[in-house]
Amino acid sequence: MRASRTAVLTLVAAATLVLGACGSPGSGGGKAETTAPGATAIAACDPVAGDKLVVLTDDKGLQNADNIIPAVNKAAADANPALVKTLDTVSAALDTDTLIQLNKAVDIDRRTSSEVAKEFVTKEKLAAPDSAAGAGTSLTVGAANFSESSTLAEIYAEVLRTAGFKATVQTIGNRETYLPALQDGTLAAVPEYAATLADFLNAKANGADAPSVASGDVDATVAALKPLAEAAGLTVGTASAAQDQNAFAVTDKFAEAHGVKTLSDLAATCGGLVLAGPAECPERPFCQPGLEDKYGLQFADFKSYDFGLIGQAVLKGDAAIGLVLSSDGALAS
């Protein structure tokens, strides 16, 4: 799973991911077994160049549910119940397609997060019905140092302003930096990721080797998160349908040629696949081993790329399938 979100991630610019991409294009991997022991051989499907990437649905839940969720200082939430209630309206308006468009507006169209946030709040009619609910309370919304977090924080702040809060946004850094500020009340709220936050707090409470409490089930993940958050002096709001997590994409032409929409479709249709990913992908359970174990996918070759180059490799037909982020702006239609 993603342990850190500290850089702007697009399919056309270099970035970092929990998998720690560090290989050069086409390096590493070599030939892999086309058919896993005991598996039935399926005809190989060669890469197909295309015009855009299509994310295949993770229908068996290989990835943990990293849904966007408001994390709020508990004392602040207890003092003003309108705080969480207002942020939950943002969750209700977000899904992954919407998040992709927000990221495209900032990362590709080069608009500012604050401009995009104001437009989003207006378009989605998120202005609070009670403009005095915040009663002039001053608070700071924190953001991690990557664009998606900044945009979400600006949306949180803009909606809170419509409820009467005097909200500002401050970019802090990574989770290790901003979480203590959220716990001590320096920050009132931060846009978070359900699975990553749950396992982060679990490791803090129960040790680095504690078993993961997150899963691909967002309801179960949030249920595990809530008591951990409360023990840490936090309150979490409602998880949105928007997810920012590892995903696997093929080209539109490949998906059309083979009639695949899900990873299960791909496993039933294609063998001998070429997989593109970060150098560590062949050893990481949420990458190649997970695809093989959970779905029975069969790979003939693995090609290592820096993360920002994976999408381009798939688009050019150098690999049939590649690791991407589910909310990347480059996935916009």
Q: What is the mean pLDDT of the chain?
A: 90
Q: Map out the domains of the chain as residue ranges.
A: 27-62+245-331, 68-236
- Predicted pLDDT of residue 147: 96
Instruction: State mean pLDDT over 84-98.
Output: 98
| Order of strands across the sheet that contains 166-173 | 166-173, 138-144, 189-193, 68-73, 234-236
For the residues of 91-140, what is the DSSP string, one character each? Answer: HHH-BHHHHHHHHIIIIIS---HHHHHHHHHHHTT---S-TTTTTT-EEE
Q: How far is CA 122 from CA 61, 86, 164, 227, 274, in A?
A: 34, 15, 16, 34, 44
* pLDDT value, residue 16: 32
Sheet strands (E) in the chain: 27-31, 53-56, 68-73, 138-144, 166-173, 189-193, 234-236, 246-251, 273-277, 299-304, 321-325
- The span from the CA of 14 to the CA of 63, in Å, is 22
Q: What is the pLDDT of residue 24?
A: 31
- Assign domain 68-236 to its CATH superfamily: Dipeptide-binding Protein; Domain 3 (3.10.105.10)
Residue 216 has pLDDT above 60, yes or no: yes
CATH of domain 27-62+245-331: 3.40.190.120
- pTM value is 0.85
Q: Report pLDDT digits (tens) over 16-35.
A: 333 333 333 333 343 344 44
> What pLDDT sits at residue 54?
96
